[in-house]
Amino acid sequence: MAKKTAPLLPSTDALLAQLGARLRIARLRRKLPAKQLAERAGMSPMTLRSIERGGAGVTLGAYAAVMQVLGLERDFEFLAQADPVGRELQDSRLPAPRRAAPVPVPAPRPASPKERPSVVAAEPGGPWEAPPGDWATNSGFASSEALSALIKRRSSETGS
């Protein structure tokens, strides 16, 4: 007595029917009678008829035997090859990539009065242009009092 197989979804039944139809067309293109193909594949003509109709109760080995006689056995390499759902599941279990610890950026050292130009040209992208919002860090001034003291000292040096 033949074993029963689990019922298939209609879409899977349709795929088997399409495979059977393609195998029948391949047989007809080769001008092979069904009886001769069944003999070469080692099965009864009734089993071949079931394969060509996309029967779900036929073993995969019987399908493979028919494909081998037709010279299509290499098509088995393409079955379940992509597996996008399996790859997503596998990737979801991978550990999260580690992020490298941020490299500390040293604070700019304040330039000595001799290194500072007397007139600062504010050219876009120029060496003395500070990024917007970061002028206090780049200028070397720790507070508004230090800036005020520098301005007073400069004005007394120039005599203005």
The pTM of this model reads 0.55
- Single out the residue in 21, 56, 79 at which a domain terminates: 79
Does residue 88 lie in a domain region?
Answer: no
Does residue 122 lie in a domain region?
Answer: yes
pLDDT of the residue at 28:
97
- Single out the residue in 32, 52, 79 at which a domain terminates: 79
- Single out the residue in 52, 79, 106 at which a domain terminates: 79
What CATH number should be reported for the domain holding residue 32? 1.10.260.40
* Same structural domain, 73 and 20: yes
Query: Domain span at residue 147?
Result: 114-160
Tell me, what amino acid is at 134? D
**Separation CA 77–CA 83 (nearest Å):** 13
**Separation CA 79–CA 94 (nearest Å):** 26
**Separation CA 59–CA 72 (nearest Å):** 17
Does residue 102 lie in a domain region?
Answer: no
pLDDT of the residue at 120:
47
In total, how many domains does the chain have? 2
SS3 36: helix
**pLDDT tens per residue across all 160 residues of the chain:** 456 778 899 999 999 999 999 999 999 999 999 999 999 999 999 999 999 999 999 999 999 999 999 999 999 888 888 888 988 888 888 787 777 777 777 777 666 655 555 444 445 555 555 555 555 555 555 566 777 777 788 778 776 5
* Same structural domain, 18 and 68: yes
